Structure 1
Amino acid sequence: MHQEAEAIAGAEARSPATYDLVIRRAHVFDGHQALTGLYDIAVDGKEIASVSPEPLGGRQEIDVAGAWVMPGLIDTHVHFYDVRAVSDPESMRAFEENELPGRLGLFLDHGVTTIKSVGDPTGGILAARAGITEGTLRGPRLLATGCGITGRDGHPAATVFGDNPWARERFTGEVDSVQEIRDLVHHLADRKVDAIKLLSEGACAHSGEPTYLWQNPAFPDGVELERLPLELLRAGIETGHERGLRVTVHTTQQAAAREAIEAGADGLEHGVTVEPLTDQSLIDLMLEHGITYTPTLWIDDAHPDARGNLEKVSRAGVHIALGSDTFSGRGLFGANTLEEAELMVAAGMTPTQVLAAGTSGASRQCARPDLGTVAQGKRADLLVLNADPTTGIKNLRDLSMVILNGELAVDKR
């Protein structure tokens, strides 16, 4: 009930007043829970100014007549550039001019107001972030790690980009010494990335043989990989923290997840997907360290244990963030994020838990406390839905309006 008390206090502090925008008579999911009753939500500039059970006045008013308002969705794990199409400067330029703007817009059209890129070419993705910030590109708020950091001949350098050396140099950062990983993290931090992503291993089961073999239907013979050595993993995390950045680590097996947590990681990208999560002490370690677990079922649901592992960590109280691992060439940007939410419910989470994972939980993963909640002082990224998403996750698809930074970005009325 504390959110409702804060909402009322916020209204009393500013009432009577005229705001830039008031969304009138809405049911509210505030990023944590559904509030009781109907509320007016006032926006001034880019921020939420009040969430009030009493009527408010605005220079612009939208009466939604009992529709649902919630924070904009945050997808914390996206690969934006088309890894198959970009292989030289000309194809990179063609993608950025012809494909990038429309694909950014798709996220907004599906109610995704923030995305986090976790392994795109550093220069390109930071230029896209600048274009959105400056208003020359229409799209969601874009957070970026720049290239993903992996061991020399690690994943995805030797796998996804094994036959694309030009892209390999730009999408991945391969390191084989403590000094190299420290230097690369400092370089990314100097370029003002929003976080750091390290890749500990590939996306396959490995039972401890001398050779780490990455196996995927696209590579029937397998690709021999090098895992990121422990001393490099520790150095990358330490350096990221020295620069004030959260560091998340790509893992798929229990041993790698434990190693990442013990090395100081803030979150697990994918978590445990390729084997059943049988180690309760690993779940306890996640809780002890406040780890955020990003299940990426959209890409990992083919693994028979991925759903059950998510249910286990969610039931235990581990922090969950929505992240789809969406990439060009399969499905549709934005729509993939909604499919991820539906898969998380299918795995045993409640709609309310999944909505929190895609809003307040995702904001925690991104270290952006200004996002992900409907409350006074938070960023005015809001969705208006025609049906209650807390009773059916598919109601996320019944979208009426998207408000980004206090401005109407999508209107489907």
Structure 2
Amino acid sequence: MSTTAIINARVFDGDRPLEATTVVFDRTGILAVGGEAPAGAEIVDAAGGTLLPGLIDAHVHTNEQALALDLRFGVTTALEMQGNHTAGNRAHITENDAVADIRSSGFAITPPGGHPSELFPEGFRPGPPPGARGPKPSEPAPLMPFSTTPEEAVGFIPQLVERGSDYIKFMVDDGSVEGHPGLPMLDRATLSAGVAEAKKHGMLTVAHALTIEATRMAIESGIDGLVHLFMEGPHTEEIITLIRDAGAFVVPCVVLNASMMGITGDELADDPRVASRLDEQWMKTLRSSFGHYPQGRLGDVFGSVRALRDAGVDLLVGTDASAPFEFLGGLAHGASVHHELQYLVRAGLTPVEALHAATSTTARRFGLTDRGRIAEGLRADLLLVDGDPTTTISDTLNTRAVWRRGSRLTHA
């Protein structure tokens, strides 16, 4: 088994910059941080560059083609928040070092007709994305845990666990932000019962919530993390304190909130480091937007992010990237992780704090103990970039090389 030694690198280990400049690894994992390159190792001279842990996108809806795109942008793990890449359905991804690794909630607990049904045009039937792998005959049909009562939610939890969900997601959305007020929504009793049952099974719980009231309901029901940040106005001290005291984490998905407000991804698409890696359909998608909430103010979202950071709440990088359709626009797999990092810095995080949110903090909160940091014994999921993103966050786009499980991507 060949060994690789990266030398002369700035090393950001997921927590802090290190004095060490050498990292040695093979397909089994990271062998050493610091010291000398061993005899016979393949040498990668990283002079002028920074070595980071592979990035993690904590909110996607995806397929193999999109996971390949993730990896090209240095995103080595994606956390699916609605989809079918549960434990029994992803061996082809787990063993494929040309795509990002994945974890999944399966499908979220929501009422019939609830979110996300309102996002799609009437009669829309997308079918499988181009190049997507179809289900094997041996794979069960996806479990759709539609729930309107506490008993139904409780009954679905063990089924989701048995199907291989890595965490349990709940939709808490009345449709007001998406322009569909009155959308069927989980009530408090159903949400609380489902969360409690999930915790009995040792499962992490996350919630989709786009308003302060939905956020309050999720937190008071015992949710572990919020995979969106409310966007209908400025934060209140009360909601920030509630999230902090609950010990919950937040995936702000600022890129999604911006898109909901009609802000396109043009500033990202105009970057040649992005345009060179996206095809025409993804570029069209990135230059579009959801546009459902034009009355929103991105400054309010930035203020909420800053208040959460100041309160000590764990923030995670996520994008909500899904399919290349313009009505789901403003986002693109892989690329939007870098946009989210830039947005978090604009909101007031330091570059190092933003990098925490895309590496070690996400790994810690989702129990991914083998990744998210550069340390002996961990997976060799690595991103080498030119420049120093610990001081200039946009340098994360200066991709020089990507490794997944110690295997170098040949066309990063």
Superposition TM-score, scaled by structure 2 size: 0.80
**Contact 1:151/1:174 (8 A) holds in 2:** yes
Report SS of the residue matched to 2:9: strand
Cα distance between partner residues in 2 of 1:365 and 1:57: 38
The Cα of 1:55 is off from its aligned counterpart by 4.6
**Contact 1:294/1:322 (8 A) holds in 2:** yes
Gaps of 5+ in 2: 128-140, 262-295
Q: Deviations over 1:232-287 (max 9, x none)?
A: 11122122222222110111222221221121111011132222111x23322322
1:75 aligns to 2:89 (yes or no): no
Cα distance between partner residues in 2 of 1:52 and 1:223: 56
Residues 265 and 324 from structure 1, CA distance in 2 versus in 1: closer, same or farther, beyond 3 angstroms?
Answer: same
Match of 1:232 among 182, 185, 190: 190
Residues 202 and 335 from structure 1, CA distance in 2 versus in 1: closer, same or farther, beyond 3 angstroms?
Answer: farther
1:262 aligns to 2:197 (yes or no): no
Partner of 2:395: 395
1:63 aligns to 2:36 (yes or no): no
Give the residue type in structure 1 aligned to 2:90: R
Q: Deviations over 1:281-325 (max 9, x none)?
A: 332232222211110011102231222211111122110000011
Cα distance between partner residues in 2 of 1:133 and 1:285: 37
Cα distance between partner residues in 1 of 2:405 and 2:368: 14
1:196 aligns to 2:159 (yes or no): no
Partner of 2:82: 119
Partner of 1:133: 94
Match of 2:146 among 150, 157, 174: 174
**Contact 2:309/2:349 (8 A) holds in 1:** yes
**Contact 1:148/1:171 (8 A) holds in 2:** no
Report SS of the residue matched to 1:309: helix
Match of 2:105 among 145, 164, 167: 145
Compare 222-231 and 337-346 and name the one that shifted more.
222-231
**Contact 2:109/2:145 (8 A) holds in 1:** yes
Partner of 1:286: 243
Report SS of the residue matched to 1:70: strand
1:25 aligns to 2:8 (yes or no): yes
- Count of aligned residue pairs for this structure pair: 356
What's the Cα RMSD here? 2.5
Residues 34 and 402 from structure 1, CA distance in 2 versus in 1: closer, same or farther, beyond 3 angstroms?
Answer: same
The Cα of 1:202 is off from its aligned counterpart by 4.1
Cα distance between partner residues in 2 of 1:197 and 1:163: 26
Q: Deviations over 1:361-396 (max 9, x none)?
A: 111232212211111222211101111011111101
Compare 265-274 and 153-162 and name the one that shifted more.
153-162
Q: Deviations over 1:173-216 (max 9, x none)?
A: 321122211222211110111111111114535xxxxxxxx51x
The Cα of 1:407 is off from its aligned counterpart by 1.4
Cα distance between partner residues in 1 of 2:25 and 2:45: 14
The Cα of 1:54 is off from its aligned counterpart by 4.6
Partner of 1:93: none
Partner of 1:41: 23
Cα distance between partner residues in 1 of 2:38 and 2:60: 38
1:321 aligns to 2:316 (yes or no): yes
1:110 aligns to 2:67 (yes or no): no
Residues 228 and 240 from structure 1, CA distance in 2 versus in 1: closer, same or farther, beyond 3 angstroms?
Answer: same
* Percent sequence identity over aligned pairs: 30
Cα distance between partner residues in 2 of 1:162 and 1:318: 39
1:156 aligns to 2:105 (yes or no): no
Give the residue type in structure 1 aligned to 2:244: L
Cα distance between partner residues in 2 of 1:62 and 1:102: 28
Runs of 4 or more off by more than 4 Å in structure 1?
53-58, 124-128, 161-167, 169-172
Partner of 2:235: 277
**Contact 2:168/2:204 (8 A) holds in 1:** yes
**Contact 1:150/1:175 (8 A) holds in 2:** yes
Cα distance between partner residues in 2 of 1:102 and 1:156: 22
Give the residue type in structure 2 aligned to 1:315: D
Cα distance between partner residues in 2 of 1:324 and 1:171: 24
